[in-house]
Structure 1
Amino acid sequence: MTKRRPVGVEEEFLVVDLESRRLTPLAQAMLDKLPDEGYAAELQRSVVETNSTPMEDLRDVRAEIVRLRRALVSAGEPLGVGVIAAGTTPLTGVDGYTFTPGERYQYLSDAYQFLAQEQLICGAQVHVEIDDRDVAVLAAQRVEAWLPPLLALSASSPYWLNEDSGYASSRALAWQRWPTAGPVGPYANAAEYDRTADDLVASGVIEDRGMVYFDIRLSAHVPTVEMRICDSCPLVNDVVLLAGLFRALIIRESEAVEKGEPPRGEERLALLRAANWRAARSGLEDDLLSPLTSRPMPAPQLITWMLDDLRPTLEELGDWEMVSELADQALRRGSAASRQRGALAMNGRPEDAVDLLLAETREG
């Protein structure tokens, strides 16, 4: 029987004024009303982060995400602010571009200039526990080809600097500008991975290993693998779906490594990058690239096939019923990017798209 591994979720939220619907630098005022555990500041003062306690049961993961969100919303309401879980916001505003005080954030501002200044993007990161770092680094590389469909499921950032970007995830494109963002491999073992991380720090391009921003990375401090490719998702069920799929992928590929089975997914860097770009462009509303052949397939067809491919692992974990239902819901709704565009198109008001995000984030 395949053993469930604990899974944790980090979510980043944009803080908006409930009257103007624009970003506001009041994240710290909200944090002052919240416990230290589970909540953190980010580079921009209009962004706040939550960190869930790792859980084995996806129902517990969902309950923990809901608990953290409710406390965040409750902290903001007396201040006249709300939070939206999305890769970017339809409305920015000059007040949103304010750095959080602190030595590290000052370093990021000085070293990276407009990359840091435009870092008004939010992601959802999923951590899965795995003890053997050699297995972890090989499994991570095998999972990479399967991550673009997860980006497509999360796509929630059609707007960039108050304009429609033409992409479902403008956040994904903005994030790729950072010097260590992108595919992880190739590495033969954990020692090679660690040596590369250390060499990146020694190069002076990054300050520490916390700035190794691969799409999927190993923690330097705890035995986990972390997926970093996804947008923040307004609906809790979509976050749980991503957590369930990513855990199943890591477990399946870890077991395949231990059995000495060859990789099944695309491993060529150029095609991995092309698949990520395609997912950012399309979301769920157009083609994605097959993890096996790199040929285009309609997104719903590919994700349905991917679910069937993962079904044996999901069933062994006891997650099949929940994950398949959440995936069906996601495909029927369409991406959060598409929903925002639909809300704006009704009356031509970006405020309506913000209201949609506020409601979905609050209600889960």
Structure 2
Amino acid sequence: MGVEEEFLVVDLESRRLAPLAQAVLNRLPQTGFAAELQRSVVETNSTPVEDLAGVRAELVRLRRALQAAGEPLGVGVMASGTTPLAGVEGHTISPGDRYRYLSDAYRFLAQEQLICGAQVHVEIDDRDVAVLAVQRVESWVPVLLALSASSPYWQDADTGYASSRALAWQRWPTAGAVGPFSSAAEYDRTAKDLVASGVIEDVGMVYFDIRLSAHVPTVELRICDSCPLVDDVVLLAGLFRALVVRESEAVMKGVPSKGEGRLALLRAANWRAARSGLEDDLLSPVTSRPMSAPKLITWVLEDLRPTLEELGDWETVSELADEALRRGSSAARQRGAYARNGCPQDAVDLLLRETRQG
């Protein structure tokens, strides 16, 4: 497994975004840290690990290094899908040919790409199995989006959504559901055809909610918001790995999928998760009927329990899920902090604190 996290760079005095990601990166080693499209966003990349304890250790290590690099510059970093306080300077495109291309080709999509996600990679050697398995996993990922929801604000206003980032991301031409594909060759051919169409520049811009890596034997979950608490990222990694393992084994055994599978209902489930977070109903991945978030997540855990126990993850994942449900989504916590004094800076301070504490 491996995890990529994106962080917003925030001026510690004004609590608004600061275009100082490169200045922070200049104080860090090249391995594990990278720039992003916007100058107020920085990314971390963990080394591959074999268990959830390793995931946690990597996330903590990288976050501590980021924070130590930013503090002498008067900036902090926060893991959140969006920020309660943007600021004009936050909307500044990073230098470089690729970022210039993105800005010129996609205009306001790139200019408004001030959003952060958490991506989880899981190793799987057989690409034909992988492409079939991820299409089965898709029915379950709206639950993961709901668990990660941390972007209620956009341009200093409450959007009414728990994950406004998820909606903004879906505007990109290759974002959304994967497939249907019958083989890795068909997947790869489609990726190449998208490049040949001129709509994207390379296969790295295939932004499916779950995609196959073009370079290493992994599948990558891309639908989730950045999460201020390390525990929530570890939870996402544990659940996603269990889903990939279970559905890969089912593909090899010829077991039919339990997931809904219809694109229109999958889109509806993702919208519902973005709207609700953990504070309202979600859609069942099997029946597409509404269920309260706590009830559905508890059911999903029990459904995955045999695989989680096989991986040695049951105790950790079930405990982290219980804690996530008790404290509610990051979106709800941000709104609560904001509402206490009517002050958006309080929501930023909460995000900075939770990111630092892990």
- When normalised by structure 1's length, the TM-score is 0.98
What is the deviation of 1:45?
Answer: 0.3
Of 56, 59, 62, 2:50 maps to: 56
Shift of the alpha carbon at 1:266?
Answer: 1.2
Match for residue 272 of structure 1?
A: 266
Give per-residue Cα distances to partners, 1:187-232, cap 9 Å, x unaligned: 0111111111011000000000000000000000000000000000
Q: 1:333 is matched by which residue type in structure 2?
A: R
Q: Secondary structure at the match of 1:126?
A: strand
**Cα distance in structure 1, aligned partners of 2:160 and 2:315:** 34
2:215 match: 221
Residue 60 of structure 1: CA displacement? 1.2
SS of equivalent to 2:138? helix
Gaps of 5+ in 1: 1-6
Count of residue pairs brought into register by the alignment = 358
CA distance in 2, matches of 1:23, 1:217: 30
Structure 2 gaps, min length 5: none
**Could you tell me which residue of structure 1 aligns to residue 137 of structure 2?**
143
Write the distance in 2 (CA, Å) between the matches of 1:353 and 1:245. 28
Question: 3-state DSSP class of the match of 2:42?
Answer: strand
Structure-2 separation of matches of 1:57 and 1:308: 20
Alignment of 1:33-182 (within 5 A): 33-182=27-176
CA distance in structure 2 between the partners assigned to 1:197 and 1:55 by the alignment? 28
Distance in 1 (CA, whole Å) between partners of 2:315 and 2:38 is: 39
Q: Give 3-state SS (helix, strand or coil) of 2:7's partner.
A: strand
1:161-206 deviation per Cα after TM superposition (whole angstroms, max 9, x unaligned): 1100000000000000000000001001111111110110000000
1:8 maps to a residue whose letter is: G
Percent identity for Structure 1 against Structure 2 = 83
| Corresponding residue of 2:353 | 359
* Offset of residue 354 of structure 1: 0.1
1:75 maps to amino acid: A
1:315 aligns with one of 309, 323, 326: 309
Give the counterpart of 2:328 among 331, 334, 339: 334
Look up the SS of the partner of 2:76 in the other structure: strand
Q: Which among 276, 279, 283 is matched to residue 282 of structure 1?
A: 276
Q: Separation in 2 of the partners of 1:330 and 1:158?
A: 17
- Paired letter, 1:137: V
1:27 corresponding residue in structure 2? 21
2:257 aligned residue = 263
Q: For residue 244 of structure 1, what is the aligned residue in structure 2?
A: 238
Q: Which amino acid aligns with 1:43?
A: L
Cα distance in 1, alignment partners of residues 324 and 124 from structure 2 = 28
> Structure 2 CA distance, aligned partners of 1:161 and 1:173?
14
Secondary structure of the residue aligned to 1:339 is helix
Offset at residue 136 of structure 1 (A): 0.2
Structure 1 Cα separation of the partners of residues 186 and 283 of structure 2: 29
| TM-superposed deviation, 1:54 | 1.1
Aligned to 1:3: none
Cα deviation for residue 57 of structure 1 reads 1.4
Q: Which residue of 1 aligns with 2:186?
A: 192
What does residue 4 of structure 1 align with? none
> What is the alpha-carbon distance in structure 1 between the residues aligned to residue 28 and residue 93 of structure 2?
20
Give, in angstroms, the shift of residue 40 of structure 1: 0.2
Report the aligned-residue RMSD. 0.4
Once the two structures are superposed, residues 307-326 of structure 1 have per-residue CA deviations (whole angstroms, 9 ceiling, x without a partner) of 00000000010000000000
The counterpart of 2:196, out of the listed 192, 195, 202, is 202
Opposite residue 153 of structure 2, the aligned amino acid is Y
Which position in structure 2 is the counterpart of 1:301? 295
1:283-336: CA deviation from partner (whole Å, max 9, x where unpaired): 000000000000000001000000000000000100000000000000000000
TM-score by length of 2: 1.00
Report runs of 4+ in structure 1 exceeding 3 Å deviation. Answer: none
Offset of residue 252 of structure 1:
0.2
Q: CA–CA distance in 1 between the matches of 2:85 and 2:235?
A: 27
